[in-house]
Amino acid sequence: MSEKRTADEAGKNLFYDPSERRIRSFVTRAGRLSPAQARALDTLGPQFCLPYEKAPLDFDAAFGRTAPTILEIGYGMGGTTAAIAAAMPDSNFLGVEVHTPGVGSLLKLIGEQELRNLRLIQHDAVEVVNHMIAPRSLAGVHVFFPDPWHKARHNKRRLIQPAFVALLASRLAPGGYLHCATDWEDYATQMLDVLGADPSLENTAAGYAPRPSYRPVTKFENRGLKLGHGVWDLVFRLRADA
């Protein structure tokens, strides 16, 4: 295998996906896989990566056990996801990411830390939630630091929009929660407005929430905090009468 293998999704795809009739919230980027990431994809991918299918995923079969399942959308290089999964061994974690180096990176961490409660899907999260996640099946959803699309004309590409939040809420089991975090204040304001307007969700805090102990502070986030940059967490829960 070449040690300079290019990520499968090299190049840009259209923001507007005619097959789904929506604007995508991400751009696929060309990226180089490190030798370690490439090895992890080859050796651990068959065990921990699940194919995208337009059919509900059987969590018990996928994880080999019955346990609360938490969905993480856009896990990047996977450091936070691995840390949370290691700290919460009694929960299943389903990570969704489009970028191949990130998938390889998290697989590498899975191998190094001997994590068995993680499964990964490399696909558009909106399609995964729409087709593979059954209603009322998730204990929680994590959306940490999604692309802020900070230019006003690009705000429509942000992931946290009313329709997607409604879809996520429909997948939460009774007592399930939706946890978002961002370091862009404008996006935090939008998130608070959108989540607060969804009739099936209720805020667990009076506005923004304290960072839950299960979400570790990343090196990038810590540098920003030292420079005085803000980070906003939002934790909403499915209403009992939803």
Q: Which domains does the chain have, with CATH numbers?
A: 16-238 (3.40.50.150)
Q: What angle, rounded to 10 degrees, do the helices at 125-132 and 162-171 form? A: 40
Residue 93 binned pLDDT confidence (cut-offs 50, 70, 90): very high
Is 220 annotated as contributing to ligand binding?
yes
190: phi then psi, degrees, rounded to nearest 5: -65, -45
Q: What is the pLDDT of residue 218?
A: 81
User: What is the DSSP secondary-structure string of 95-129?
Assistant: EE---HHHHHHHHHHHHHHT--SEEEE-S-HHHHH
Is 124 annotated as contributing to ligand binding?
yes
Q: What is the pLDDT of residue 152?
A: 58
pTM score, whole prediction? 0.86
For 184-236, write each residue's pLDDT tens digit. Answer: 999 999 999 999 999 999 999 999 999 999 999 987 788 778 877 899 999 99
Is 93 annotated as contributing to ligand binding?
no
Q: What is the pLDDT of residue 223?
A: 79
**Residues identified as active-site:** 147
Is 219 annotated as contributing to ligand binding?
yes
CA distance 92 to 68: 6
Q: Which two tokens stand for residue 210?
A: 């304290």
Of 134 and 24, more confident: 134
202: phi then psi, degrees, rounded to nearest 5: -130, 140
CB 70 within 8 A of CB 94: yes
The proportion of the chain whose per-residue pLDDT surpasses 70, expressed as a percent, equals 84
Q: Which two tokens stand for residue 205?
A: 């805090």
Residue 21 binned pLDDT confidence (cut-offs 50, 70, 90): low
Is 97 annotated as contributing to ligand binding?
yes
Is 183 annotated as contributing to ligand binding?
yes
Q: What is the pLDDT of residue 16?
A: 33
CA distance 3 to 209: 43
